[in-house]
Amino acid sequence: MTPKTSLEVGGMGHSIKRKEDPRFIRGKGTYVDDVQLPGMLYLDIVRSPFAHATIKKIDTAKALATPGVLAVITGQDLAKYNLHWMPTLMSDTQMVLPVEKVMYQAQEVAAVLATSRYTAADGVAAVEVEYEPLPVVVDPRKALEPGAPVLRTDKKDKKDNHIWHWEWGDRAAADRAFGEADVRVKEDIYIPRIHVASIETCGCIASFDKVDGKLTVWMTSQAPHAIRTVFALVAGHVGLAEHKIRIISPDIGGGFGGKVPVYPGYVIAVAASVLTGKPVKWMEDRMENLQADSFARDYHITAELAARKDGTLTAIRIKTLADHGYTDAAANPSKFPAGLFHICTGSYDFKAAHVEVDGAYTNKPPGGIAYRCSFRVTEAVHTIERMADIMAHELGMDPAEFRLKNFVKPEQFPYKSALGWEYDSGNYAGALRKAMERIGYAELRREQADKRRRGELMGIGISSFTEIVGAGPSKHFDILGLKMFDSCEIRIHPTGKAIARFGTKSQGQGHETTYAQILAEELGIPAADIQVEEGDTDTAPYGLGTYASRSTPVAGAAAAVAARKVRDKARQIAAHLLECSPDDLVWEPGKFSVKGAPNRFKTIQDIAFAAYTNHPQGMEAGLEAVSYYDPPNLTYPFGSYICVVDIDKGTGEVKVRRFVAVDDCGNIINPMIVDGQIHGGLTMGFAPALLEEISYDEIGNIQGGSFIDYLLPTAVETPKWETDKTCTPSPHHPLGAKGVGESATVGAPAAIANAVVDALWHLGVRHVDIPITPAKVWKLLRERGVTE
Ligand code: CDP
């Protein structure tokens, strides 16, 4: 008998369409795209073909004559309500719809409201816009040259394209150390624009109930509470008060930082719903998602390291130019315009450091989001890990030996970095040695030497990164003034089952599982008896949301603290039931028993029942607690990755032969989920290292605006990841856990780039910017006379 295909199992047969197969129908239908509301209208958006142009005229007559089209919304319409501009998370301003000019290709120009998705698209095609092109500024270096066209003409006093200057560290000490150094290296490193390409694009359904004046928005947001507050602040003047706004982030198909900002489409859908009283849906397509949503990276970096000739690092200096597009819509904590880029001292014990960053406006989409990264940490890690390799090679030292010599040592923790961070814990040498052993480092170096003699190109690259996640302590971390705590509220029902709600929002990281595990461990209630909910601002406690691997460090800690508060009350109730002093009770997961009399005990379920039926007089009934956790410090996960590449001299193709990743995120809550996070993260680090980039031609046309040339890795290109771990608990986190979601994305690109340069160093190659495409490598080889 021939084996059945998966579709035939259960007698479905091939003729059954995927949608009709009950196994493929989502149980709850909780993605934004699945929400169906009666009378729903649809929005589609007219986008600019020009990167910089004055809008002379928007002719809506043909669009309005299109059957099914109800309205065309322009900037002029929104201006009547003062909603044509909105604030960005970095307190800059961003157009919802333009009134005078467009600033980047694919910018929203007008929106069409129609009775179906199809008629909305027909309406978009029928809107005629007359543009007058303006000079385009694409290169941020040129943007800062005297005489460059000033882009933000809306800002009255703005005379140039410079946004801000930010610096950190001791410039004089760094300069002194460079003056005294035996060896100095300097390199220009460009980390290109890339884009989150989540499986689900961004979108929302806004539904305004004219009777009770309440707005409900189902939206793809990683931070629903912050969005509610921003909506209330921006639209309070048109009657949208915060208690009348409900944001629901249902299941989300990947966020990675791209679903933190407010996009114009959300605001237009809300405005359209408030005006019509009908539900309005906006769901961007893949090309809109790639071309107009917030970008990541785009840092032009010049980095320098100083060392003694024995290989001891002494100082680091970095100057960076950050291309922010036409507005600074980065998703950084307010105090840090360049995010946490000053983690750029990495895993090394520098005595002196100075870093400076300048932001520039260009005719590109805004952003600067933390793409699977804790606010510019990827940029920092890539810089320091590339530079460490360059210095090691310059000194003629093995890159592993060089790192082992310069690592912050375990006994130095808590370690105050030269740029002011207090690293909580780490054992960098432990992780690197484990990775070296696992991959067979010494043997690989011998193989490389043999191959080099035969003219073959093989490289070994290391990245020993330090992360900084868990934003963050309220004394330093806020977004638009909202402190970056997070929350857990837990209620135990009389029958011992529980519901726990959080201020974070999973986008596929498995919070429903890991939070339930934390609570189960702390309370002794089976995980299956705990309902975990996030993402509904009407029910969840206030929190800043999920990005930058902050969920476990902040909300995971809140879960533990809330559970411990519940346990404290449970102890009082158990003492009442057992007629003893609370101090005479001992806790083991799931029950309190009397010291020395283990048979006298009450389970957490008995206690929960008593909390509603037989609680001590004078005590409030019920068993619940809430924690708004303000972390005392960030957590500092780390890892050592080693990558082996072979380079095809004929095509320039880089093949990742092996990749060993040893990660340390402190105590692990769920090893399978952590492994999944690392596998996914490694693939998202491999992608920008070798494939992904969004660039622009000289008149601002997007290159890489569709999946034809924005190359996502598929299963075919993705290497086989070999993962391992060490465990250095965080001393300040209640569970000893550190975040992990982004570690691999942050750490992987440098390992790959270092492996490529390691293969080519003997040919005089010191650095290759990512993505390291076959064309780039082929050119480098031919320039050096290497042929097949
Ligand atoms: O904020 P986000 O959920 O993206 O990142 P995270 O806190 O690093 O957590 C990602 C997933 O890994 C969550 O389900 C965590 O609970 C889990 N995790 C874990 O099991 N153990 C850790 N030490 C860290 C994270």
CA of 704 to the centre of ligand 1 (A): 31
CA of 522 to the centre of ligand 1 (A): 17
Ligand 1: residue whose CA is nearest its atom 4? 549
Ligand 1: residue whose CA is nearest its atom 5? 549
Task: From the CA of 666, give the closest atom in ligand 1.
Answer: 23
Q: Say which residues have a Cβ less than 8 Å from residue 438's Cβ, sequence separation at least 6.
A: 660, 662, 722, 724
Sequence-distant contacts of 80-88: CB under 8 A, at least 24 apart: 81/237, 81/238, 81/271, 82/237, 83/234, 83/235, 83/238, 83/267, 83/271, 85/154, 86/234, 86/262, 86/264, 86/267, 87/230, 87/233, 87/234, 87/480, 88/261, 88/327, 88/328, 88/329, 88/330, 88/366
Q: What is the pLDDT of residue 9?
A: 29
Q: What is the pLDDT of residue 237?
A: 83
Whether residue 365 is predicted with pLDDT greater than 90 in this model: the reply is: yes
Q: Output the six-digit token pair for 455.
A: 């003219």
Task: From the CA of 671, give the closest atom in ligand 1.
Answer: 20
CA of 750 to the centre of ligand 1 (A): 23
Ligand 1: residue whose CA is nearest its atom 19? 669
Ligand 1: residue whose CA is nearest its atom 12? 674
Given 344, 373, 643, 665, the catalytic residue: 373
The answer to whether 713 and 707 have CB atoms below 8 angstroms apart is no
CA of 29 to the centre of ligand 1 (A): 25
Given 94, 105, 107, 222, the catalytic residue: 222
Q: What is the pLDDT of residue 25?
A: 37
Whether residue 664 is predicted with pLDDT greater than 50 in this model: the reply is: yes
Of all residues in the chain, the percent with pLDDT exceeding 70 is 96
Distances (CA, A) of 200 to 175, 255, 284: 48, 8, 10
pLDDT band at 11, cuts 50/70/90? very low
Report how far residue 441's alpha carbon sits from residue 652's, in angstroms, rounded to the nearest whole number.
24
Report how far residue 778's alpha carbon sits from residue 650's, in angstroms, rounded to the nearest whole number.
7
Q: Would you state the torsion angle of the CA atoms of residues 22, 27, 30, 34, taken in this order, to the nearest 10 degrees?
A: 20
Q: What is the pLDDT of residue 5?
A: 30
More confident residue, 77 or 3: 77
The residue-averaged pLDDT of 750-769 equals 98
Task: From the CA of 741, give the closest atom in ligand 1.
Answer: 8
Report how far residue 702's alpha carbon sits from residue 288's, in angstroms, rounded to the nearest whole number.
12
Residue range 309-334, pLDDT digits in tens: 999 999 999 999 999 999 999 989 99
Residue range 447-484, pLDDT digits in tens: 999 999 999 999 999 999 999 999 989 999 999 899 99
Task: From the CA of 737, give the closest atom in ligand 1.
Answer: 23
CA of 671 to the centre of ligand 1 (A): 10
Q: What is the pLDDT of residue 13?
A: 30
Residue range 82-123, pLDDT digits in tens: 999 999 999 999 999 999 999 999 999 999 999 999 999 999
Residue range 44-93, pLDDT digits in tens: 999 999 999 999 999 999 999 999 999 999 999 999 999 999 999 999 99
Best of 222, 519, 552, 672 to mutate for ligand 1, by most ligand atoms within 8 A of CB? 552
Q: Which residues are registered as beta bridge partners of 482?
A: 479
Report how far residue 764's alpha carbon sits from residue 340's, in angstroms, rounded to the nearest whole number.
33
pLDDT band at 153, cuts 50/70/90? very high
Specify the range with the lowest mean pLDDT, choosing from 228-232, 386-390, 570-574. 228-232
Q: How far is CA 591 from the centre of its chain?
A: 39
CA of 591 to the centre of ligand 1 (A): 28
Q: What is the pLDDT of residue 18?
A: 37
Whether residue 23 is predicted with pLDDT greater than 90 in this model: the reply is: no
Residue range 187-220, pLDDT digits in tens: 999 999 999 999 999 999 999 999 999 999 999 9
Whether residue 26 is predicted with pLDDT greater than 70 in this model: the reply is: no
Q: Which of 133, 47, 138, 56 is nearest to 97 (CA)?
A: 47
Indicate if 742 belongs to the active site.
Answer: yes
The residue-averaged pLDDT of 3-27 equals 35
Q: Output the six-digit token pair for 743.
A: 């570690």
CA of 552 to the centre of ligand 1 (A): 5
Q: Output the six-digit token pair for 129.
A: 């816009």
CA of 674 to the centre of ligand 1 (A): 7
| 210: three-class secondary structure by DSSP | coil
The residue-averaged pLDDT of 407-435 equals 98
Within a 13 Å sphere around the CA of 26, how many CA atoms are in the beta-carbon half?
A: 10
Pairing of strands 280-283, 41-47: parallel
Indicate if 531 belongs to the active site.
Answer: no
Task: From the CA of 674, give the closest atom in ligand 1.
Answer: 12
Best of 373, 740, 745 to mutate for ligand 1, by most ligand atoms within 8 A of CB? 740
Report how far residue 516's alpha carbon sits from residue 520's, in angstroms, rounded to the nearest whole number.
6
Whether residue 397 is predicted with pLDDT greater than 80 in this model: the reply is: yes
Q: What is the pLDDT of residue 100?
A: 97
Number of Cβ within 10 Å of residue 714's Cβ equals 8
The residue-averaged pLDDT of 658-679 equals 97
Q: Which residues are registered as beta bridge partners of 638?
A: 466, 664
pLDDT band at 667, cuts 50/70/90? very high
Task: From the CA of 735, give the closest atom in ligand 1.
Answer: 23
The answer to whether 712 and 210 have CB atoms below 8 angstroms apart is no
Indicate if 373 belongs to the active site.
Answer: yes
Q: Would you state the torsion angle of the CA atoms of residues 420, 421, 427, 431, taken in this order, to the nearest 10 degrees?
A: -110
The residue-averaged pLDDT of 359-376 equals 95
Q: Output the six-digit token pair for 568.
A: 């404290």
In the 8-state DSSP scheme, what is residue 340?
A: T
Residue range 675-709, pLDDT digits in tens: 999 999 999 999 999 999 999 999 999 998 999 98
More confident residue, 239 or 82: 82
Whether residue 553 is predicted with pLDDT greater than 50 in this model: the reply is: yes
Given 47, 228, 317, 372, the catalytic residue: 372
The answer to whether 104 and 363 have CB atoms below 8 angstroms apart is yes
Given 284, 534, 624, 742, the catalytic residue: 742
Indicate if 722 belongs to the active site.
Answer: no
| 45: three-class secondary structure by DSSP | strand
Only one residue has tokens 């949208």, namely 240
My answer on whether omega of the bond before 632 falls inside 30° of 0, hence cis, is: no
My answer on whether omega of the bond before 414 falls inside 30° of 0, hence cis, is: yes
CA of 551 to the centre of ligand 1 (A): 6
Ligand 1: residue whose CA is nearest its atom 2? 549
Report how far residue 178's alpha carbon sits from residue 220's, in angstroms, rounded to the nearest whole number.
48
Task: From the CA of 547, give the closest atom in ligand 1.
Answer: 1
pLDDT band at 30, cuts 50/70/90? confident
Pairing of strands 295-307, 214-219: unpaired
Calculate Rg over the CA atoms of the chain.
28
Report how far residue 775's alpha carbon sits from residue 768's, in angstroms, rounded to the nearest whole number.
12
Whole-model pTM? 0.95
Backbone φ and ψ for 723, nearest 5 degrees, come out as -110, 150
The angle at the Cα of 754, spanning 748 to 757, to the nearest 5 degrees, equals: 145
3-state SS of 597-644? EEEEEEEHHHHHHHHHHCCCCCCCCCEEEEEEECCCCCECCEEEEEEE
Whether residue 491 is predicted with pLDDT greater than 60 in this model: the reply is: yes
Ligand 1 proximal residues by C-beta, below 6 Å: 509-511, 514, 546, 549-552, 556, 665-670, 673-674, 677, 737-741
CA of 187 to the centre of ligand 1 (A): 35
Q: Output the six-digit token pair for 761.
A: 């160093």
Arithmetic mean of pLDDT over the chain = 95
Ligand 1: residue whose CA is nearest its atom 22? 668
Whether residue 19 is predicted with pLDDT greater than 80 in this model: the reply is: no
Report how far residue 428's alpha carbon sits from residue 149's, in angstroms, rounded to the nearest whole number.
48
Task: From the CA of 738, give the closest atom in ligand 1.
Answer: 23
Q: What is the pLDDT of residue 501?
A: 98
Best of 669, 733, 743 to mutate for ligand 1, by most ligand atoms within 8 A of CB? 669
Q: Which of 226, 778, 724, 135 is nearest to 485 (CA)?
A: 226
Q: Which of 438, 457, 437 is nearest to 447 (CA)?
A: 457
The answer to whether 474 and 630 have CB atoms below 8 angstroms apart is yes
The residue-averaged pLDDT of 626-654 equals 98
Backbone φ and ψ for 180, nearest 5 degrees, come out as -90, -5
Report how far residue 200's alpha carbon sits from residue 187's, in angstroms, rounded to the nearest whole number.
38
The residue-averaged pLDDT of 336-346 equals 97
In the 8-state DSSP scheme, what is residue 553?
A: I
Q: What is the pLDDT of residue 42?
A: 98
